[in-house]
Structure 1
Amino acid sequence: MEESEVGVPPWPGGPEAWPDDPRYDPELLAHGDRRNVADRYRYWSLEAIVADLDARRHTFHVAIENWQHDLNIGSVVRTANAFLAARVHIVGRRRWNRRGAMVTDRYQHVQHHASVSDLITWANAEDLPVLGVDNLPGSVPLEGYPLPRACVLLFGQESVGLSDEARAAAVDVLHIAQFGSTRSINAGAAAAIAMHAWVTQHAGLPASTGLDG
């Protein structure tokens, strides 16, 4: 059985049949659109998609510490794009592994901060409380926690979790309920759960998944 090709072929009928809409990209109309985007964005230019997302972005931010070139950061960026986060903040090393982002970093705003203190200074200027997410003594359950509508969800480096500076700076540290033997789940999975928790509290759930146009 042949695997179906992702996306859509060139717009049928040639240039004479192309839609008169500045959001559409002539190259994509001519050659097809095989990108990993929702159907409603088929044939749209990158700039048009970002502009549409910017008009609808949610008010939560995601931050992750990057001291050891964490492989999870790409996954965090991809999930932040899926949940329409305002911005992803990389704290520590500027370079990060983009493979896991699956090109979604082109659509998701990403900002770098050299240190936790730089992130906190930025968040304070924006009047955004910073909430750590880690399985630590004294942390409170994410489940049922009233997440602020505008906030920063801060995650630590894989394996070591939040740094001491990040723990001290957070308004609260939240943990995700677990029932097995492992001490923690990876940062990419934790970020996805925390973002979904924010969405369930504050975002109107769409009538469509966006996969059907």
Structure 2
Amino acid sequence: MKSNKTLRTLALGAALLGLSVMPSTAMATPVSQSGTTTTTVTMPEYLVLHYYSAVALNFSATSSSASQTGSPLSATWTTLGDTSTTLAASATEVGPTSANITLKNAWAIAGLSSSGTATVSITGTDFSATRVGSTSKIGVTGYGLASTNGVSGAVTGATVTTLLRGVTGQTQTVGDVKMTLNFSNTTESGAHAGSFTITAQTI
């Protein structure tokens, strides 16, 4: 009885010894799982407009005196300006009736929109003399915009469509402001003030 028990013990020990010397790789099978995550990055729609809050246009002229040819003016106590000659200034002395003005690089936009573009428009007023009680005025017959880096090359008009060009910070769209000044009702020197508004909108 004792010998049978001893044999069983020896057999069990041999079996355990055999298990202990088996390679570990034979015991474990690698397990792998993977999953795919769909990632969405949503960019904001935004728009940045750069503009000048004030612009000063300063015209200059030269004062002079000129001798008028023809009969001299004569004056008596009873008659002033007794002459057949009319004094007249030339067109260059009177000045032009209008002037086309371009304010270079007067605005810039940058940002993002669903179409990658934006519209820029301009509206404005005439320029009225700032002196109290004055009726002198500089009319503006048309405000316009111009840009050389628009959707398809150069664009012009009161409203233009331009590229927004992303968020790199160095590719903003830059444009000019155009206007035609009319001096038909300009009767005084000095400051004449008005304003124009530039509006940018994503599309």
TM-score over 0.5 for the pair: no
Higher share of residues assigned strand: 2
Query: Which structure would you say has the larger Rg?
Result: 2
Q: Which has the higher contact order (CA 8 A, sep 6+)?
A: 2
Higher share of residues assigned helix: 1
TM-score computed with the length of structure 1 as normaliser: 0.17
TM-score computed with the length of structure 2 as normaliser: 0.17
